[in-house]
Amino acid sequence: MKPALKNTLLIAVTALCGAVVLVRFVPSIRCGSFDSETAKANDAAKQWLHFWPGQFDWNIRLQDSRWKPVISTKIPEAESALAATSSVLLSEAQVLDFTGESDPHDPSTARPYLLRSVVAAKYKQIEKFRVDVNARSRNSDIWIASGAIGTCPVAMRRQPIVVWLDSPPGEVFVTFGVAE
């Protein structure tokens, strides 16, 4: 092999290896840490996380029409109401105040409850985040799940929701997951 070709191949392989190493470690370089306001919101959201013990036996997913997010201007008031409990029974006037809407558009005997939930902090607009509300048929436990997709840590924020339930929640479980 000619020395010039050998040097060219050596440089190409070295550059390729360097590129592979750079690509492998870019996520850790790119991620960084949260700014102080986001870190504070994330820490507060962590206090609302509550995982269930035991099996994955959630078999009822509540329809999206059965829950509404608390509007951003009312989140501080809703957080205060949920400071010592994970659920609060609401009057129809409180529902209108918290959500801007009066009912779930579903004629039922369900009653409105203010519940804890967390969502990705980057979603400030109500219509941008996704929450799944699940129940167990054997009791009145509720599981509120949310999450995001990413290769870096995803900051969370508290997002209270109003859910119309047929009976008071026994326990409210709140989870947030990040998938790659």
pLDDT at position 56, please?
A: 78
112/26 same-domain check: no
53/103 same-domain check: yes
1/90 same-domain check: no
Sheet holding 132-135, edge to edge: 60-61, 132-135, 142-149, 172-179
Query: pTM for the full model?
Result: 0.78
159 within 8 A of 118, measured Cβ to Cβ: yes
Best CA proximity match to 15, nearest among 3, 5, 27, 7: 7
Euclidean distance between CA atoms 53 and 145, whole angstroms = 15
Euclidean distance between CA atoms 39 and 41, whole angstroms = 5
Confidence band for 107, pLDDT divided at 50, 70 and 90? low
Confidence band for 80, pLDDT divided at 50, 70 and 90? very high
118/165 same-domain check: yes
CA distances for 124 relative to 89, 138, 165, angstroms: 25, 35, 26
Burial class of residue 136 (count of CB atoms within 10 Å of its CB; 0-12, 13-18, 19+): middle
3 within 8 A of 11, measured Cβ to Cβ: no
pLDDT at position 9, please?
A: 41
140/174 same-domain check: yes
With residue 10 as reference, give the H or E element that holds it.
helix 3-31
Q: Which residue has the tokens 């006037």?
A: 93
Q: What is the mean pLDDT of the chain?
A: 81
168/87 same-domain check: yes
92/130 same-domain check: yes
Q: What is the pLDDT of residues 25-39, one digit of tens each?
A: 444 457 888 999 999
Q: How far apart, in Å, do the first and last CA atoms of the chain sit?
A: 44
89/1 same-domain check: no
Mean pLDDT of 145-161: 91
Query: What is the number of structural domains in the chain?
Result: 2
34 within 8 A of 42, measured Cβ to Cβ: yes
pLDDT at position 138, please?
A: 66
| Ranges 49-63, 80-94, 119-133: which has the least confidence | 119-133
82/144 same-domain check: yes
**Residue 26 belongs to what domain range?**
1-31
pLDDT at position 31, please?
A: 82
18/80 same-domain check: no
pLDDT at position 23, please?
A: 40
59/88 same-domain check: yes
Report CA 10 to chain centroid distance, whole Å: 48
89/115 same-domain check: yes
